[in-house]
Structure 1
């Protein structure tokens, strides 16, 4: 389990530092009706991560990607190579979309009306950002393949899914919990965090996706030529 956990943690961190959901939950917390929307978003975000990871874990398990000899199968190597290349493409896109010096950072149009979103829509938004967003979908797929390859007992697989989800969701959970504990004290720090993410999110995501993409592609190539 230790080896699988070591492979999962960097992928989980890449999901965790996704700037858009962090900014979304912060904007919901700072809105007049912070309670229901932020809780709904958090529930959707966690459910999306769990759902996508479990689906890819089950699919990879059905495809026979679990490890019997400790060596990856050709199918697993091709999948990792494809995921790595896909993530590298997303890294390049983030780099090209970064704001130039002195240029204001752009935000998705839906964020302008996020203070009016209902709890149900916030839940759907959280699930969509975690399970439908191409970047997170590929990262959850990588996690599912890693868990299937480990070939562990069901209980151990469940633990790996739980740890992956906990780490991947912590950056959305933490602001919500902190705000509920000390709302007034957290307004300033949360607003500064939102501004920093808005300004530097493209660069942060480029670096993380570049590292994850290179690692996955390297594992895929290594499995094919090994």
Structure 2
């Protein structure tokens, strides 16, 4: 059952990991005077924020009986259906933005933006307030609480999910630590690409993940 849970949450972890705005933010921090310290603060905050949401949702799922006699409860299928429909609605909104792009606002930076509290606030907002992330965190938590019996197994599945979901902030940081200033050009190109194609990426990603959640819901409700 643990293997099944991990297999199912991987796609939701990827859904969170593909976060162009978080990628842009951490790469921008890697060009500041305290590059590594600022980026580490952002990455740690991102991971802690995601972990807090997943922990709360998994606990709630356990309390309301998501796993009923070692099988997902009936309401889990309906929850996945709602999550899938929400993801498709967000995908449609992003598709409209991709088809009718608005001029990007000029980049502004201040010392306050690079202060520790500002970085923590930014990372928390991008991790927890992003509607795309919320759909995937909810889907992962529902899966973990309904498919994985036992607290230890749920913790393991949650950790695997968080490791995948944090790749958007850990990979740029690792590249910077390993390559130093030589990584600046590559990271900047990643940032520029993510900025240009943010809406398109989100539209395609959420269409796929929303369809998957709806498919899982149909399978659960008709199985």
Question: Do these two structures clear the TM 0.5 threshold for a shared fold by scoring above it?
Answer: yes
In the alignment, is the contact (CA less than 8 A) between 2:66 and 2:146 conserved in 1? yes
1:218 positional shift: 2.1
Matched residue, 1:138: 135
Q: Any idea what the Cα deviations from partners look like across 1:48-74, whole Å, max 9, x if unmatched?
A: 11111111111111110114253x322
Q: Any idea what the Cα deviations from partners look like across 1:20-50, whole Å, max 9, x if unmatched?
A: 0000000111123323322221111001111
Q: Superposition RMSD on alpha carbons, in Å?
A: 2.0
1:156 positional shift: 1.3
- 1:5 paired with 2:6, answer yes
Deviating 4+ runs (over 3 angstroms) = none
1:31-42 correspondence runs (5 A): 31-42=32-43
TM-aligned CA distance change 1:8 to 1:46, over 3 Å: same
The number of aligned residues is 221
Give unpaired runs (5+ residues) of structure 1.
none
Matched residue, 1:161: 158
TM-aligned CA distance change 1:60 to 1:12, over 3 Å: same
SS of the residue 1:30 aligns to = coil
- For 2:166 and 2:60, the matched residues in 1 are separated by 23
TM-aligned CA distance change 1:203 to 1:185, over 3 Å: same
1:154 positional shift: 1.4
Q: Any idea what the Cα deviations from partners look like across 1:130-153, whole Å, max 9, x if unmatched?
A: 122221112111111100011322
Normalising by the residue count of structure 2, what TM-score does the alignment of the two structures yield?
0.91
In the alignment, is the contact (CA less than 8 A) between 2:70 and 2:149 conserved in 1? no
Give unpaired runs (5+ residues) of structure 2.
none
TM-aligned CA distance change 1:11 to 1:105, over 3 Å: farther
Normalising by the residue count of structure 1, what TM-score does the alignment of the two structures yield?
0.90
1:188 positional shift: 0.3
Match of 2:169 among 166, 169, 172: 172
Q: Any idea what the Cα deviations from partners look like across 1:143-202, whole Å, max 9, x if unmatched?
A: 111000113221111111111000110121111122123221100000100111111121
- For 1:106 and 1:207, the matched residues in 2 are separated by 21
